[in-house]
Amino acid sequence: MYEHLKIEERGMVAIMTISAPKSLNALNSDILREIGEYLDEFDTQRFRCLIVTGDGEKSFVAGADISEMATLGPQQGEHFGRTGAEVFRQIETLPCPVIAAVNGFALGGGCELAMACDIRLCSDNARFGQPEVGLGIIPGFSGTVRLARLVGMGMAKQLIFTGKNIKADEALRIGLVNAVVPQAELMDKALEIANQICANAPLAVSAAKLCINTCYDMEAEDAIAFENHAFGMCFSTEDQKNGMQAFLTKGKCEFVGK
């Protein structure tokens, strides 16, 4: 169905693998289009978590396709940047959590893709960086926005202005990733966390994701009001009734997403 994506299903977990081995999974317009199409059709009733990774053991996504960008003019460049930003925003706003399993190079667009995910795990051979200024451009695909929010303005400026790559342990130290694991254990760890997520009430998880994403930049009073409303809406679900009853009776609840 897709030329550059491999899709796997593990129960309630979907795995999307970006596969363009010759370019170390670099993102071009075709790959971005395929990711967008897959997300458009993503069944959040069936799947409660999505894992994003790259094909092979060397690269998650090595960046955006420089051979495609080299000939672009200002308007074309803006269009390409907007396309990537819109696709990554789809990931960020997908109702279910998205885990990035970063299995190697995550440079430029690859780092930006990982940052659009909710949780970032990486192998011990992973490398992160925003090297765009060395090519005469800036991070696109919302890179300047998300990096500053994740690691702070000062660290984001240092990484972007220098174009320096950092290793997995440094990415963990500055808060860019949640955990570093051996390469051979990366997917198992991603699936472990995904399955922990899947065991919980999916509507509640989705509401929590929406609150965190929406309230981050709000004034405190508005953010609290937004959360209060989302909290109240949870009490209209079957999962809330069944989950609390199971707790009170020391039973086990199988959440159905209603």
Q: How many CB atoms lie within 10 A of CB 92?
A: 16
Question: What residue type is 71 in one-letter code?
Answer: T
DSSP state letter for 27: B
Pairing of strands 127-129, 5-10: unpaired
- Catalytic residue among 57, 132, 170, 221, which? 132
Instruction: Reply yes or no on whether 86 is catalytic.
Output: no
132 is a catalytic site residue = yes
The torsion angle over the Cα atoms of residues 83, 87, 89 and 92, rounded to 10 degrees, is -160
Give the tokens for residue 100: 């990035």
In three-state secondary structure terms, 196 is helix
Tell the burial category of 75 from Cβ atoms under 10 Å away from its Cβ (0-12, 13-18, 19+).
exposed
Q: Which of 112, 170, 221, 238 is catalytic?
A: 112
Place of tokens 């060395």: 134
> What are the tokens at 186?
């990366």
Beta-carbon count within 10 A of 41 CB: 8
Annotated active-site positions, please? 112, 132
